[in-house]
């Protein structure tokens, strides 16, 4: 079976992990010195390499060369870990195995001495474990079995009990920059001999929102369309409303133009776009515009948004009469979002709410 891009181009060494330098440097240093923690906590954004690094840590601990920050990749242990067939690499998806029974089964499984140098237990999406499961896991973390290393992986560290967090060596995984994603995509495009324009690569990176994994999944889908792909098609594959459409609505909001707000929303509704995602995109546009206003050194611009999108936003900065106008829209959208959870048609309510803000902003300007 043909490997998907996300699996095929998953980093095979710590050096290949994209833009997590601080975390990787600390891990490499501890492996070189043979310092092994009984529990690691890898937390941060989706698709940034957390689970991959957990497996690479397993390689570093079990390579036949010995504990190393540069595992050989060809010994039986390295190959088995790469193929997910290593007996002493136990991976649990807490999204589907979240109860105390799963942790009890795990404790039975790890009660025997590992065959390998180290048994590595990876608990993915660990924030989804129940309170009872966490309590059971905590006891194991307090008294871990010999030669057993736990790697907890989560996108929501705030949901973890402090008692669990305190027993782990913690590593933050940051969103990957637009440029970092584009560089990786270009490497893969060249290897796969895919014909895509810079504009399409830019669009894929934009809709990936800092997740390299999402970027690779999206690239693979777009590769079947080739250079004939359009921004609209890419947005559909990404499950997002077209960027041009959300920017038209954003422009109308910046102008406090009630007529354009209605026409933009109506167009999005007629095309069957998910209104929750539309509003989330509007929040992102407001965030990005505010960041451009305050980002004197350009650090946010360089890492988080594409050049084309940046230029568009910069051309709109002067439309912002006051920060208060933006905050009025942000507040209104935040109030609307919970009401969209039930999937009912809220287009009329959204139109009224946004128009009300537009009129309030216009009246404020007159004073």
Tell me: do 97 and 192 sit in the same domain.
no
Task: List, in order, residues 6 or more apart from 362 with CB less than 8 Å away.
Answer: 256
Please give the pLDDT value at position 301.
Answer: 59
Please give the pLDDT value at position 322.
Answer: 82
Residue 60 has φ and ψ, to the nearest 5°, of -60, -30
pTM: 0.86
CATH number reported for the structural domain that contains residue 209 in this entry: 1.10.8.60
Quick: pLDDT tens for 64-95. 999 999 999 999 999 999 998 999 999 999 88
User: Edge to edge, what strands does the sheet with 148-154 contain?
Assistant: 89-93, 119-124, 148-154, 39-44, 169-173
Tokens 């973390």 belong to: 141
CB contact at 8 A, 171 and 23? yes
Question: Tokens at residue 173, please?
Answer: 């995984």
**Which residue range(s) make up the domain with 185?**
178-237
Would you list the DSSP string of 193-217?
T----HHHHHHHHHHHTT-HHHHHH
Tell me: do 44 and 114 sit in the same domain.
yes
Quick: pLDDT tens for 1-33. 567 888 899 999 999 999 999 999 999 999 999
Domain count, the chain: 3
Tell me: do 122 and 253 sit in the same domain.
no
Tell me: do 205 and 335 sit in the same domain.
no
Percent of the chain with pLDDT over 70: 96
Quick: pLDDT tens for 330-363. 999 999 998 887 666 788 999 999 999 999 998 8
Please give the pLDDT value at position 224.
Answer: 86
As a whole number, the mean pLDDT across the chain is 90
Tell me: do 196 and 98 sit in the same domain.
no
Tell me: do 45 and 105 sit in the same domain.
yes
Confidence of residue 244 (pLDDT cuts 50, 70, 90): very high
Residue 292 has pLDDT above 70, yes or no: yes
Tell me: do 277 and 303 sit in the same domain.
yes
Tell me: do 47 and 185 sit in the same domain.
no
Tell me: do 263 and 159 sit in the same domain.
no
- Segment among 120-129, 247-256, 298-307 with least mean pLDDT: 298-307
Please give the pLDDT value at position 213.
Answer: 93
How many other β-carbons are positioned within 10 Å of the β-carbon of residue 233?
Answer: 16
Tell me: do 295 and 309 sit in the same domain.
yes
CB contact at 8 A, 341 and 279? no
Please give the pLDDT value at position 303.
Answer: 64
Residue 59 has pLDDT above 90, yes or no: yes
Confidence of residue 123 (pLDDT cuts 50, 70, 90): very high
């Amino acid at each position: 079976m043909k490997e998907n891009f996300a699996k095929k181009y998953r980093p095979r060494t710590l050096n290949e992990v994209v833009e997590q330098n601080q975390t990787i440097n600390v891990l490499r240093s501890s492996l070189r010195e043979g310092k092994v923690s009984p529990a690691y906590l890898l937390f941060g954004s989706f698709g940034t390499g957390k689970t991959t690094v957990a497996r690479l840590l397993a390689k570093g601990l079990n390579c036949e060369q010995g504990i190393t920050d540069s595992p050989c990749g060809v010994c039986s242990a390295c190959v088995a870990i790469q193929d997910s067939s290593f007996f002493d690499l136990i991976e649990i998806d807490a999204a589907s195995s979240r109860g105390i029974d799963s942790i009890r089964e795990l404790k039975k499984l790890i009660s025997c001495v590992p065959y390998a140098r180290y048994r590595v237990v990876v608990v993915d999406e660990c924030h989804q474990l129940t309170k009872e499961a966490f309590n059971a896991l905590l006891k194991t973390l307090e008294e871990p079995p010999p030669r057993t290393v736990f790697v907890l992986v989560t996108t929501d560290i705030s949901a973890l009990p402090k008692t669990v967090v305190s027993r782990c060596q913690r590593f933050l995984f940051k969103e990957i920059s637009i440029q970092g994603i584009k560089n990786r995509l270009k490497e893969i495009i060249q290897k796969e001999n895919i014909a895509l324009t810079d504009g399409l690569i830019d669009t894929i990176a934009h809709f990936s929102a800092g997740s390299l994994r999402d970027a690779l999944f999206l690239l693979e889908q777009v590769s079947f369309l080739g250079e004939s792909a359009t921004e609209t098609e890419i947005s559909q594959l990404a499950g997002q409303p077209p960027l041009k459409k959300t920017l038209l609505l954003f422009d109308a909001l910046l102008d406090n133009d009630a007529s354009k707000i209605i026409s933009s929303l109506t167009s999005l509704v007629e095309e069957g776009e998910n209104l929750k995602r539309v509003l989330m995109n509007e929040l992102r546009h407001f965030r990005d515009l505010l960041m451009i206003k305050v980002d004197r050194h350009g650090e946010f611009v360089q890492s988080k948004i594409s050049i084309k999108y940046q230029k568009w936003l910069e051309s709109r900065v002067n439309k912002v009469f006051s920060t208060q106008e933006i905050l009025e829209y942000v507040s209104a959208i935040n109030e609307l979002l919970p009401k969209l959870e039930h999937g009912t048609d809220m287009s009329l309510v959204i139109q009224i709410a946004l128009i009300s803000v537009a009129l309030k902003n216009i009246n404020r300007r007159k004073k």
